[in-house]
Structure 1
């Protein structure tokens, strides 16, 4: 049943490819040496990845190609929305954090949402790389993949950009705020 949910209709495929192409062409500074035709071919040959991009778009992520890994041949899409994706905010870090809350539980958590979408949470390093192509999270913040040693102690980390600087902070993994969501990436 889950696989059936991960299939786009022909209309949805056409819609997401059109959106991605327009964004790709509008933001050539993010991927100067790439050509859309090659990216589109790779996407058409990987419909499950196209579904993940559709989910990234549906939740407000505005995915765009940022990296072409020449070793693996993968195109890597990042969430490039100016602020943390609106459809992925007010979530705690992971399922353990969600289950630890006694009251006022958020509806979901970042780790499970990313997994359900078929994407990965950005690491701190990936978040910093993303910030080199633009200014993101000037008013919001985004959970990032938390090192196991921090998570074992009950914490999680998130990032944002203020004062023209990328900051990394910590919080209890069970915390959630209306202005904090998460950003992801997808390898195609």
Structure 2
């Protein structure tokens, strides 16, 4: 279902830009001091990044601007869906974990999906930043980028929000649950 050319049709592009603008204006507190016209200009000059944002949108991530790196001139988008993106749940952490399962393999894994979409998994730090601008994952959880020191022992980490507190946990990287997906970030 993904476009190998990583280009959107005119209709897809317009639909995405409209959705992003509406979300941007509705959630202005996520990006105080950032002007939509400047974000739009950056998006229009980055077709491949626009494609990645469309993939975030298509899988239920509801991407939105959460910051601006002035030095790099980049706008930072995170998945801002209330719960972990629906189209990215029931996945284990990475390919190694997927291949290690003998039975009941999930269809995919978070790392490969993010890579195919052209995005990065949020780190624990980024996940905690996201939780400062809203309340996310109160019923779901999200895999986050796992340090090699944990991954080499077979584990992976995920985060969620319960009791008005952000928690970081661990699981075997091969585990997967209907309520666990992953959130991504994209710099444009």
Q: TM-score higher than 0.5 here?
A: yes
Moved more, 18-27 or 2-11: 2-11
Describe the SS at the equivalent of 1:72. Answer: coil
Structure 2 counterpart of 1:50: 50
Q: Does 1:168 align with 2:168?
A: yes
What TM-score, normalized to structure 1?
A: 0.98
Describe the SS at the equivalent of 1:87. Answer: helix
Structure 1 counterpart of 2:37: 37
**Residues 123 and 58 from structure 1, CA distance in 2 versus in 1: closer, same or farther, beyond 3 angstroms?**
same
| Deviation sequence 1:83-137 (CA, Å, 0-9, x none) | 0000000000000000000000000000000000000000000000000000000
Structure 2 counterpart of 1:68: 68
Structure 1 counterpart of 2:101: 101
Q: CA deviation at 1:170?
A: 0.1
Cα root mean square deviation, aligned = 1.0
Q: CA deviation at 1:5?
A: 3.8
Distance 1:5 1:168 in 2: 37
Q: CA deviation at 1:6?
A: 1.1
Alignment of 1:99-178 (within 5 A): 99-178=99-178
**Residues 3 and 55 from structure 1, CA distance in 2 versus in 1: closer, same or farther, beyond 3 angstroms?**
closer
| Deviation sequence 1:38-76 (CA, Å, 0-9, x none) | 000000000000000000000000000001011111000
Stretches of 4+ aligned residues off by more than 4 angstroms: none
What TM-score, normalized to structure 2?
A: 0.98
Describe the SS at the equivalent of 1:39. Answer: helix
Q: CA deviation at 1:32?
A: 1.2
Q: CA deviation at 1:37?
A: 0.5
